[in-house]
Amino acid sequence: MHTLENDQLCVTISDHGAELSGIFDKKNDREILWNADPSHWKRHAPVLFPNVGRYYEDHCLINGKTYTSGQHGFARDMEFICVEETENSVTHLLESTDETKKAWPYEFQLYITYTLEGRDLTVAWKVVNKDQEIMYFTVGAHPAFNVPILPDTKREDYHLTFSGQKELTYHLLDTRYGTAIPDKVYTLVLENGSCQITEGMFDKDALIFDDGQISKAGIALPDGTPYVEISCEGFPNFGIWSAGDAPFVCLEPWMGRCDNTGYDKELSQKANINMLEPEDVFDKSYVISVR
């Protein structure tokens, strides 16, 4: 376990999955990241790579060959190597193995860097294509924040906040496959850029927002005071999820997402797929701000 600390926050990161495992707010004397209690959900903030969500029927087609991969890919369950640690940052590395190639055939390097500045934690992903072919992948974040966080409050007292929109559109998941239902679009109506976290909001799993609608999303306390925000400019997809009525909410910026139900084309043809030429580098980051 690695620790980043200043006078505002104490952040912990595990070698396993290079997973963010704690964000303690010193100012307010509270832990804001979910504790991974397996009775609800056994993770804190897994990195989703090389696939966000599920492929349709858990397999994808690459150059005419079928590869099987579970939900959210393999990175979250692998041991990373810490390759650099400074006073305010930690960098982990995962490289391809014979086992990873069974699920996704490419030679790669995945670097994940956490940088703490004040009350902001920047999470940066760097993917390096070490293969001789063009590489196709999606990558995403899945941090879970404690809601409720205040005594004598419940999850439904809190609000989701966004950057000024009047409404957002979203898709739901087909529970048979864990993939998106593309032909049904729902509307999330906002008042002053926010909406209440309602009972039953996550009964059908995650809410999936496409088309780059969300560049900033947050959670507000019952009185409207900002609690935590994620800034993710340039991300095409975003998920919001909780495990039923569990006491946390996930804010998930994604570069690409799960398949649509019925998708059977090459991975390279998938919407919002990331393409990387041999020896090229993909860089993307988002920021968690504790308010």
Please report the pLDDT score of residue 205 as a whole number: 93
| 2-290 classified as CATH 2.70.98.10 | yes
Beta bridge partners of 241: 250
For residue 162, is pLDDT > 90?
Answer: yes
- Candidates 225, 231, 238; CA nearest to 188 is 238
Mean pLDDT over 229-234 rounds to 97
What is the tens place of the pLDDT at every residue in 45-72? 999 999 999 999 999 999 999 999 989 9
- Structure confidence at residue 274 as a pLDDT band (50, 70, 90): very high
What is the tens place of the pLDDT at every residue in 234-273? 999 999 999 988 999 999 999 999 999 999 999 999 999 9
| Pairing, β 9-13 against β 20-25 | antiparallel
Spatial neighbors of 88 by CB under 8 A, at least 6 apart, are 4, 6, 115, 116, 117
pLDDT mean across residues, the chain: 96
Please report the pLDDT score of residue 244 as a whole number: 87
The domain locations on the chain are 2-290
Q: Which value, to the nearest 10 degrees, does the dihedral of the CA atoms of residues 247, 144, 56, 235 take?
A: 140
Within 10 angstroms of residue 1's Cβ, the number of other Cβ atoms is 9
Question: Rounded CA gap, 186 and 206, in Å?
Answer: 12
Backbone angles phi, psi at 35, to 5 degrees: -90, 5
- Structure confidence at residue 145 as a pLDDT band (50, 70, 90): very high
- Candidates 158, 125, 122; CA nearest to 288 is 122
Q: In the chain, what is the straight-line distance between the N-terminal and C-terminal CA atoms, in Å?
A: 25
Mean pLDDT over 181-189 rounds to 95
Mean pLDDT over 76-95 rounds to 97
For residue 164, is pLDDT > 90?
Answer: no
Please report the pLDDT score of residue 185 as a whole number: 96
Please report the pLDDT score of residue 163 as a whole number: 87
Please report the pLDDT score of residue 249 as a whole number: 98
Beta bridge partners of 266: 61
- Structure confidence at residue 201 as a pLDDT band (50, 70, 90): very high
223 in Cβ contact with 168 (< 8 Å): no
Please report the pLDDT score of residue 286 as a whole number: 98
Mean pLDDT over 152-178 rounds to 94
Please report the pLDDT score of residue 165 as a whole number: 86
Please report the pLDDT score of residue 226 as a whole number: 95
